[in-house]
Structure 1
């Protein structure tokens, strides 16, 4: 009788694959079949591999057979990517790191992908890169929208002169501090809370999960998140008359804010991303691109929750701008608002698609938007050109050239202060992770997308408020 221990090579030879199941099989053999006849055990293991259901009552191999059946079902339910990536437009490719391009290439292999584009401020994120635009057929990707659902820019332009601002900086600083609140978990309580029609929306009764978020939403209404979120005073300059906005050439005081749907949006994003991953089994490299079918209950639920979070984000900006407008007086000449981190139903090449803009600005023909730089670099009021190869999109800012960790390791507080002073900017709060040097040159980014947007006016930050510690959203 030929007695010998069976090796992994032996199991591979009869059809086992490298991986978890091979290791489990070897563990069982070592524990229960030491010294057994070699050929008989190999025959048994081959039979197990080919017909695991026949071993569900086997005294020793039952557990292994069960795991084999479960593993086979998981593989069977896996949604495979296309072998090749669809082509996609890249703007400012020389400024975009390879990691972001690789993420976009993976997204372009999804079976639901119709088209894609990468904006010049793009950098690596989770699932879809930040600065990535993806059009999908009848599917929505929670991580293609992002964690901060409906994050947006809002700009209010007043009939107040630059001179008035410069002469009354202390007043503007006092009001900015008094009427803004920042950072993860921060909110208002009791009589300080603001009522708003958004809180009466039926979608808050959509599910028990959404309903449970209403109190947090009420508390954080009119507040801003951490990280790169801000509220700032600045001077906006129109080099020529702008007829659509009815604003004559000149310089005006403006209020610019950037924030999203706070804790409510983050919680919705987390919940539906987990659900998508359970329902949509993608290969490991694409796991964060798990999508929900728009015809499914989960897909419809997420769509309604996403839109609620987006409208809530808009309400937060409305509260902040209304408070500060009332505090400073003056007449509001115009208000422009746009959001990113969202998904829209749009028509592309004659078919309805779901367009995800994760850190990208809608730039359809004639559509207004705001593209900020950094706390010392200018931002731009723009009008979209409706470029189809960009899926009617543009960048949502300058984009990071340093990770938060790298910025904190390589930029000193003194360097940051020197740059603020050189640009005449007063900063309230913010960590080194948001230092201007951590961002790409906004002028280079704008040049890379001159085919996507026209510049209407230039906004120069003068007084910036951010979260005290640079904290991220809760």
Structure 2
């Protein structure tokens, strides 16, 4: 069948008003119905024109309907002259460029409050470790490219001595049951309820990513993503997961929503930059109004990507639990690249945490160190000045480029030997020396979290780079 040909005059002839809605309708039809007969496409467009309210939530027709009812205003945005209230934790340990990025975000017309965590460093848009509360708007780059990047810890009733005594067995488990990077996937996939979600059929951008998401389920990305065996030391007798004080073996994973989240971020960032264009260094802080079709669509897609990231972790831990032949005593997990609707000073706002751990009162989270430094199981204290947030790790003190330039493989090997850590994969950019001292970071956020226990890495699997 011939490719669909549609002109502006075709839409004007059936009653469409001249303006932006013409190009929106043509682009939408050519994207989704390019092999359909022209008369059928014209009939679809007539139906939307007759009753646009009926199609406002439709994945394909919704944007056309929105433009017919209440067109989205596209106008250049300017930063305010003053910043909204903010707090920086561990300010002396944070690079000036990261602070400057927060200061820029604090001048956005939609900004209401902000905070910077003690592990903060330079990023795109919001700095890593940046927290921003916004009024009825979401910033795709304020969430991050790896939507729903998160931590997950399974605690097993296995004595740490077993890990040391059977190291080769545990190394083999990680090699056999974890996959990393852009191309490794499991040979045998299992279905997951996540793929029954309406978003995979409702949202055109997401629909195209379903096959990729299915293939990548249970895998981890490159960079700083990992799966580790290590020692868990529970120190708090009153912990919420009812594990007695003592030492255990744990599996800790760090990764996000893979290609699904990355492509969602890319698509909606482009839309945001068109709809709320900002100049210069602020351009990556473009936002989507949650009252618009694109804003609502991103919100649904973001939440899907977050739940998919969680499903990936659960699949990783399920595979390793099966290999271990045990069920975990407890599982602790949290997002740290996401946006939530939360109450801030009595007002519902969109709280972006880009590389920051939710730390509402009583909420558990995990703050990792490095491949040699212990991480922490924490309980949030609900500190309002931090927007109920804490650090998401130790934070980088060397960029990836500088780490590769300044750190040698022999230096890494010696540090790993000193700490008794076995590394599978990994690169110089993820060397322990590239990270800040996690104990200093924790010392700068005692108001934000209390320590429930620790996790000390012993066998670490990362991408081969």
Q: TM-score, normalised by structure 1?
A: 0.82
Which secondary structure does the structure 2 equivalent of 1:323 belong to?
A: helix
1:361 corresponds to 2:357: yes
Which secondary structure does the structure 1 equivalent of 2:142 belong to?
A: helix
Q: Which residue of 2 aligns with 1:424?
A: 420
Query: Which of these two proteins has the greater Rg computed from alpha carbons?
Result: 1
- d(CA) in 2 for partners of 1:143 and 1:377? 29
**C-alpha contact (below 8 Å) 1:194/1:222 kept by paired residues:** no
CA-CA distance at 1:208 after TM superposition: 2.1
**2:271 aligned to 272, 275, 279, which one?**
275
1:151 corresponds to 2:149: yes
CA-CA distance at 1:77 after TM superposition: 2.2
**C-alpha contact (below 8 Å) 2:119/2:392 kept by paired residues:** yes
Which secondary structure does the structure 2 equivalent of 1:332 belong to?
A: coil
**C-alpha contact (below 8 Å) 2:239/2:452 kept by paired residues:** no
- d(CA) in 1 for partners of 2:421 and 2:453? 19
1:86 corresponds to 2:87: no
After the TM superposition, which segments of 4 or more aligned residues of structure 1 sit over 3 Å from their partners? none
Distance 1:336 1:80, change over 3 A: same
Which secondary structure does the structure 1 equivalent of 2:329 belong to?
A: strand
Which secondary structure does the structure 2 equivalent of 1:322 belong to?
A: helix
Which secondary structure does the structure 1 equivalent of 2:454 belong to?
A: strand
- d(CA) in 1 for partners of 2:419 and 2:386? 33
**C-alpha contact (below 8 Å) 1:367/1:384 kept by paired residues:** yes
- d(CA) in 2 for partners of 1:97 and 1:240? 34
Q: Deviations over 1:28-64 (max 9, x none)?
A: xxxxxxxxxxxxxxxxxxxxxxxxxxxxxxxxxxxxx
Residue ranges of structure 2 left out of the alignment (5+ in a row): 1-73
**C-alpha contact (below 8 Å) 1:429/1:466 kept by paired residues:** yes
**2:121 aligned to 120, 123, 142, which one?**
123
**C-alpha contact (below 8 Å) 1:240/1:250 kept by paired residues:** no
Matches within 5 A, 1:403-422: 403-422=399-418
Q: Which residue of 1 aligns with 2:18?
A: none
**2:313 aligned to 290, 311, 317, which one?**
317
Between 77-86 and 228-237, the greater mean CA deviation after superposition: 77-86
Which secondary structure does the structure 2 equivalent of 1:154 belong to?
A: strand
- d(CA) in 2 for partners of 1:240 and 1:369? 14
**2:449 aligned to 453, 457, 465, which one?**
453
Query: Aligned residue pairs: how many?
Result: 393
**1:220 aligned to 216, 221, 225, which one?**
216
Residue ranges of structure 1 left out of the alignment (5+ in a row): 1-75, 470-474
Q: Deviations over 1:83-104 (max 9, x none)?
A: 1122310000011000000000
**C-alpha contact (below 8 Å) 2:75/2:275 kept by paired residues:** no
Q: TM-score, normalised by structure 2?
A: 0.83
Which secondary structure does the structure 2 equivalent of 1:77 belong to?
A: coil
CA-CA distance at 1:240 after TM superposition: 4.1
